[in-house]
Amino acid sequence: MGILKGPLRRHSLVIVALALCILIVYTCQVLLPLNDRPFPRVLKDVGTRLKSELGAASGPFSHTPVPNTTETGSSIKPGLQPQPPKNNGLKDDNTAPESVLGPDHKPTFDTASSVTAATATSNSQWAFDTTRDARAYGLTTKQCNAGFPGLFSEIKRAIAYRKKIGKITLKDTDISWREDGAVRAMIFDQQSFISQLHPALHSESKFGDSIYGSTRALALLHSIHRSILTSPTPIPNIEFSFSPSDLTDPDGVGHSIWALSRTADQEEKWLMSDFGYWSWPVDLVGGYEEIRREMQDTKINFQDKIKKVIWRGSVKTNEHRSQLLDVTNGKEWADVKGVDWANETMVKKGDAGNALSISAHCQYIFVVQTEGHSYSGRGKYLQNCDSVVIIPTPRTWLEPHHPLLVPSGENQNFVEVKPDFSDLEEKILPLLADVDKAKRIATSGVQVFRDRYLTAAAQTCYWRRMFEGWAEVSFEPEGWEALNDGTDGRRVRGVPFETFA
């Protein structure tokens, strides 16, 4: 050190001092209790001292900041980052954005996204990235608002309706008015229960005799359970009932029950996330994430897709399906066929040749949604394709993501046709002649739905917002019941989901 003079010697002394400070800080971090550790204060003092001694950006130790292009240790390309909503997206304005990902978004798909990585950055820095966050189940409320603006409009509508007519009561959760296809459940102390013991069924739940209803109900209960377990904040205690059936209230009784879909005049119904986001265990479908993987694995360039309209399904459930077959009969631009089912989960052997898996639909440029007994159960699957989605409008049955559909303009993400499909050909032929325009519509649909609003992360956010909204306008459930054995003992009401499942 003796041979060093002037500024160089001074810089060397500062470096030595900095090294000693780091050694002291490390020792304190290891040996001292958490609350007594001086780490943040010491680093701040050292940084201030070093900046004062060396200057902000001069001399041999100057440093030009490099823009941060990584989050949670993984490279995030600017083109993949969605454009954050106003106010950094930390306030849900209840409106569906025209374009939530921005013009530079490149559709991506990675089902191996981290469950926890999304919460590693602060809310002020966070923006939804589909590669990282598609299966991030632990998003905070602020992150849910920032990532999925407009998704919760149906919940806000239901809350406003209940505030207008009065709070939900215990009587509203009764399911005795339904012959089957209903479940009464409770969230209590961060755990889900099937409410009220029943001598025959061991709980007050009515799946019905079919596999159809029971598998749907279990899928919904699993989704609810996962939303509770992964929540970064406590879930309020609530009691509710839901129906896994296509038709929640066929007789128009008017109960406030959680439903898969509703008509515009069924204001008392609360739309929940669909069972299909967990699994649809029937022929040609399956687990939601499994299907998304298959779609990605068989992905082909848009220009190489089959230049036809594809549709398969039972013709009996809705008259508009028969009209679709009539309109497309003999058309070279259509591959439309009916498929009959042997039962609720299996296609008839004679129709096996006509049947197509959901992922196989993505090989076509155009895919068609059609309502069945009620809403289109396959709709969300088709919107995961990088294909142009055709939807008849006006729709009779509503789903939570419908406000995000854009029928025209720069951000068009589907093609609307009349309910009887009479204008289908005039909508299809121009797009077959202009594949680039068709590609833009398909890409917009991918950006909005596959890469954002139809992800597991979005649906988990929706479930938790529904819990909170229901609690806001509902009674506080009684979580305990007496043992009725002559003692003062008590137990938690109902059957824990873990036992029931």
* Torsion sign (Cα): 73, 78, 82, 88: positive
Place of tokens 């992905």: 299
Distance CA 72, CA 100 (A): 22
How distant, in Å, are the alpha carbons of 31, 124, 422, 425 from that of 311? 67, 44, 16, 15
Q: By mean pLDDT, which of 70-79, 120-129, 239-248, 381-390 is the weakest?
A: 70-79
Mean pLDDT across 144-153? 98
pLDDT for 342? 52
pLDDT for 7? 52
pLDDT for 289? 92
Distance CA 177, CA 179 (A): 7
Its pTM stands at 0.76
Mean pLDDT across 299-320? 92
pLDDT for 18? 63
Mean pLDDT over all residues of the chain?
Answer: 79
Distance CA 112, CA 110 (A): 5
**Tens digit of each residue's pLDDT (9 = 90 or more) over 446-462:** 999 999 999 999 999 99
What is the CB-side half-sphere exposure of residue 440 using CA atoms within 13 A? 15
Please indicate whether residue 99 or residue 86 has the higher confidence score (pLDDT).
Answer: 99
For the cut 60, the answer to whether the pLDDT of residue 199 exceeds it is no
pLDDT for 314? 86
Percentage of the chain modeled with pLDDT above 70 = 68
Most confident of 101-110, 164-173, 207-216: 164-173
Q: By mean pLDDT, which of 18-32, 245-259, 266-280, 470-484 is the weakest?
A: 18-32
Please indicate whether residue 140 or residue 209 has the higher confidence score (pLDDT).
Answer: 140
For the cut 50, the answer to whether the pLDDT of residue 66 exceeds it is no
489 CB-near residues (< 8 Å, 6+ apart): 482, 483
Burial bucket for residue 84 (CB in 10 Å: 0-12, 13-18, 19+): middle
For the cut 60, the answer to whether the pLDDT of residue 495 exceeds it is yes
- Tell me how crowded residue 391 is: count the other CB atoms within 10 A of its CB: 21
Note every long-range contact of 107-113, with CB atoms under 8 Å and residues 24 or more positions apart, other chains counting.
107/386, 107/443, 107/446, 107/447, 107/450, 107/451, 108/80, 108/451, 109/134, 109/292, 109/295, 109/296, 109/450, 109/451, 110/134, 111/135, 111/289, 111/292, 111/293, 111/296
For the cut 90, the answer to whether the pLDDT of residue 173 exceeds it is yes
Please indicate whether residue 242 or residue 57 has the higher confidence score (pLDDT).
Answer: 242
Q: By mean pLDDT, which of 200-214, 337-351, 439-453 is the weakest?
A: 200-214
Q: State the DSSP H helix or E strand holding residue 240, giving kind and residue range, or none if neither.
A: strand 238-242
Q: Which tokens hold the place of 415?
A: 């093609």
**Tens digit of each residue's pLDDT (9 = 90 or more) over 101-146:** 454 444 444 433 444 445 455 556 899 999 999 999 999 999 999 9
Mean pLDDT across 272-297? 86
Please indicate whether residue 208 or residue 81 has the higher confidence score (pLDDT).
Answer: 208
Domain ranges (residues) in the chain: 6-60, 153-277+473-500
- Would strands 364-368 and 388-392 be described as parallel, antiparallel, or unpaired? parallel
For the cut 60, the answer to whether the pLDDT of residue 9 exceeds it is no
pLDDT for 79? 33
Cis peptide before 394 (omega within 30 of 0): yes
For the cut 80, the answer to whether the pLDDT of residue 168 exceeds it is yes
Q: Which tokens hold the place of 484?
A: 């009725």
pLDDT for 22? 61
Task: Give the residue among 151, 251, 162, 191 at the shortest CA–CA distance from 499.
Answer: 191
Distance CA 482, CA 470 (A): 26
Q: How confident is the model at residue 317 (pLDDT cuts 50, 70, 90)?
A: confident
Q: How confident is the model at residue 208 (pLDDT cuts 50, 70, 90)?
A: low
Distance CA 165, CA 177 (A): 21
DSSP class of 474? B
> Phi and psi of 87, rounded to 5°?
60, 30
For the cut 70, the answer to whether the pLDDT of residue 80 exceeds it is no
Q: Which tokens hold the place of 182?
A: 């209903």
